[in-house]
Amino acid sequence: MSQHAEMKRYIFLTWLLMIIIYVTIAQSQTQVPDLSGRVIDLTGTLDASQQQVLAQRLGIFEQKKGTQIAVLIIPATNAEPIEQFSMRVAEQWKLGRKKIEDGAILVIAKNERRLRIEVGYGLEGALNDAVSKRIIDEVISPLFQRGDFYGGISAGIDAMIRVIEGESLPEPARKHDWQVSGPGLLPLIVFAALVIGGLMRALLGRVKGALAASGLLGLAVWLLSGMALLALLSAAMGLVVTLAGGRMGSGWQGGRRQGGFHPYSDIGGARQNGWGGFQGGGGGFGGGGASGKW
């Protein structure tokens, strides 16, 4: 075999080995869960009411301060350093406001007894590495050692909030609790067109009711979304649905009694809804924060 062929064979085997190593590492890594709420527990450590209390507290804080904080509890990181795993979480979730970068994540690997506070760029001045370490060692870990995970998480969140409260950050954008993005409004628009169309048709007749439903629906969508095109499309939908004979029947009343339509949960206001879930604001992280054990 020539030297050139031997070199090509060596390069091929090297690349093949690198690919195998990369695939093996990728498969062994713990998958980052989707950001479905402010508190995600994949271990069953917290009951539903405890998760709701924590999530409501974080939602109220976001509305007040603008900062997004989330809690993630996983069984283990499968030998991956928790610092590396938490950065993968931060990069996927993108908590915090864009350009302000005021997000923070409390990551807990329960079976490995490890935890980390991951801090966005905008909070590194207040919730710096030393402060994050003290919160872990002096507030969270002692309660975890006694088996009080809810108490430790709750106290840790409170400590983080108190520290962040002292940080000078831009005021959160003041939006109406029902203001959401266009895609999130689509199911509500269809539902509203049927309800409003049926009501206006019953009160004003087919043509006048269609005009009234069109105007009401278009105005409501404009106030909710601020998007003129979506408002026009909604007005057209209200007109067509009403003219086509949409009406509000007993099924709507039955649906209300049975609780069949819940566009918004109580946790977190406009950022936590039945269609899109809690969403990050596009913030960035640079590895600030601290890790610890209990």
* pLDDT score for 180: 46
Q: Are residues 76 and 159 in the same domain?
A: yes
* pLDDT score for 151: 97
* pLDDT score for 254: 41
Q: Judge whether 24 lies within some domain.
A: no
* pLDDT score for 193: 78
* Residue 48 token pair: 């539903």
CA distance 45 to 42: 8
Q: Are residues 136 and 214 in the same domain?
A: no
> What is the domain-level CATH number for residue 80?
3.10.310.50
* pLDDT score for 176: 45
CA distance 221 to 251: 24
Domain housing 123 = 39-172
CA distance 273 to 262: 9
Q: Judge whether 84 lies within some domain.
A: yes
* Residue 232 token pair: 């026009």
- With beta carbons less than 8 A apart as the criterion, state whether 196 and 211 touch: no
- With beta carbons less than 8 A apart as the criterion, state whether 82 and 116 touch: yes
* pLDDT score for 68: 95
Q: Are residues 194 and 120 in the same domain?
A: no
Q: Judge whether 166 lies within some domain.
A: yes
Q: Judge whether 94 lies within some domain.
A: yes
Closest to 75 (Cα-Cα) out of 51, 45, 49, 98: 45
Residue ranges of the chain whose pLDDT lies below 50 = 23, 26, 175-182, 246-276
* pLDDT score for 260: 39
CA distance 180 to 270: 6
Work out the angle at residue 172's Cα, subtended by the Cα atoms of residues 167 and 174, and round it to the nearest 5 degrees.
155
* pLDDT score for 24: 52
* pLDDT score for 233: 79
* pLDDT score for 92: 93
* pLDDT score for 269: 38
CA distance 192 to 281: 28
Q: Give CA 151 to chain center in angstroms.
A: 23
